[in-house]
Structure 1
């Protein structure tokens, strides 16, 4: 549960960071990007991916020639894709969880009750229906920080018109939270990462790339021991 809570807090706390970085220039020292120039000959697929990314980016800048005004600020597509994926995953999980654990609102009093009792009951029913802790299916997605914290409250068993989550339900929320947090951390380059390239070095060894947390990435061949870094190639 602690790990799930940490992941949900990561989603809530770093959502504003994603918004701020969506229009910023790409930082080439992020994990797996700064080494592209050095590993291009070893990983042609990455080059192709970069070209496709650039083409997609340019398409977002297309506009009607008659349109007036300044050209919009280019967006970082991988940040935008991350935000869309995280928003959809958390919102869908909250929808599913609420449908299972949220208690229906208290019914209003029957019309044949005494007037005073009926009014007291109806006041309680209206308050229960308007409880801000309720998850509402409005057709409009709530902000990601709200959704993440709503799921966190359910995982931690906070009060409200809900029953306690089962172990399976907690695990389902945990899986979604872990995936969402990993996407955010990777997009913002705030977590240590390691990746093994599919294509091997000419010696036959695997190439591991280490980076993240704002550090320049470093590649290491597990066969011959060769190292690639920013501007440095060591045998």
Structure 2
């Protein structure tokens, strides 16, 4: 988990960004399946495409892929032993997907969430700079010798480089927007995100009470059909009793 690498991360902020990404994913999926986009949304995606130097279609495709990877990554559990991930490749894959999600969703995130990721990036830079020096670095290298030989790859180098994935992603998105007027772009992104949350508000309010967690809302609902059927039956039973009393 990210929190294992950096214990001072605020879980509440990470959870909030995850909810935002899920709403962003729904916006993008509706955009991809819709025959036409409203002018505000179309102009928003055009501006992002221009920042990236790509077509709108390619930009939408990258953004939807990024949201899916982000949601998959934050739900990926990483085990640690001796302050090291027990599966370096799995951990690296997690950081890659989170980095891609940050880049994909940057213009939808609130200023607070953007600052959160900037702080995360700074913290990763600190860890990457201090973790591999002196005895700390020697012990990490020593512990990864056998796994590296077995897997025929330099896991020490792979792990070391992975800690800079998020900082590099944050640097790319901030650098691309430096000295550019993006206030209206961000305002539009927040407007689209707010509307998506309002549309899905009633459905989302049910999700925390469902027992089985899925990778997204649809899978979660599918896994809880029995619980939902029971709840519906109970509501019908209560309704019948009330009608009988009246």
When normalised by structure 1's length, the TM-score is: 0.31
Larger Rg: 1
Higher relative contact order (CA 8 A, sep 6+): 1
Structure number having the greater helix percentage: 2
When normalised by structure 2's length, the TM-score is: 0.30
